[in-house]
Structure formats: C-alpha cells, structure tokens
Amino acid sequence: MTDATTTVAAGGETSGRPARTTVEGVLFVDLVKIRARYDCFRPGCPQPVESPARGDDLEDFIGGIKTDHLARFHGEHR
C-alpha cells in the first residue's frame, strides 16, 4: 500500500522577500485518509499544532492557517 502523504511547507511563499531556509511550519495533507494537520515551528507558538481537518474542511483549514493562526498568534497578515 502506498502512503500518499504530501508535505507542503507553509509560510514559505516569498513575496519580495529573500529566500529563506528556515522552516516556520509544516502542513501535512494525507490524500488517502483525507486529513490535514498543521505543525507550527515558530518559536513561542502558543498553539503549535492545529486541529486536523478533512474533506470539505480542507480548503477552509488551509486558508485558516494564514488568516487565523498566523494573524492571531504571530501578527502576520497575508
């Protein structure tokens, strides 16, 4: 059985910033079991692991990482 887990680095989008190698967070998307989890590696993060999401929640979940988690806990507005 093939494990089709895809790992996407979140927060790495460079918008006018120099490329960095620091991993700030990792978004896990499991295409087999249809679930996702976000691990935040930023120092001092009060909520380093977001709740899992699946199915129709995935899109909102991924969008929520940027608009909710990063904005609320790290003051990053994208």
Residues near Zn ion (CB under 5 A) are: 40, 42, 45, 73
To Zn ion, the closest distance from the beta carbon of 45 in angstroms equals 3
Question: Measured from the CB atom, is 3 or 13 closer to Zn ion?
Answer: 13
To Zn ion, the closest distance from the beta carbon of 69 in angstroms equals 6
For CA atoms 21, 27, 32, 33, give the dihedral sign.
positive
Question: Measured from the CB atom, is 29 or 65 closer to Zn ion?
Answer: 65
For residues 9, 11, 17, 20, the Cα torsion angle rounded to the nearest 10 degrees is: -40
